[in-house]
Amino acid sequence: MNTETKILQLLNSTNLPAPSVTQSLKTVGKGNMLEGIRNVHDYAYFCGNKQGKIEGGVTVLALGGIAYCGYVAYKAIRFKISEVKKHRELEARICEVFESESNDTLNEEVH
């Protein structure tokens, strides 16, 4: 268990008597209970801020990765669609040419 987790568990424990908490805060504050409360507050704020930065960074990276993958997928799909369109145009042109040649040959045989 790391120190941050241990401190969090100690601060959240509800079975400590009030004189014990007061004495602990006084010790943390080097003889001044109010200074002890400030020190605990500053420590908790720092830990929360650090955790928030980590979570925010992970979120930004994840969203950036998702956006990039979406962009790559979009480009790939667009490329495939253009290939299919070119293929269908070529297919139509080939059919048209062969059908016209076939019709010309049939017309020549009839006459």
The residue written with tokens 């010309």 in the block is: 104
Determine the structural domain holding residue 97 and report its residue range.
Answer: 3-110
Confidence category of residue 109, pLDDT binned at 50, 70, 90: low
For the chain, how many structural domains are there in total? 1
The answer to whether 51 and 59 have CB atoms below 8 angstroms apart is no
- Tell me the per-residue pLDDT of 24-36, one tens digit each, with 9 for 90 and over: 888 888 988 889 8
Q: Indicate the pTM of the whole model.
A: 0.48
User: Reduced to 3 states, what is the DSSP secondary structure of residue 30?
Assistant: coil
- Tell me the per-residue pLDDT of 56-95, one tens digit each, with 9 for 90 and over: 889 999 999 999 999 999 999 999 999 999 999 999 999 9
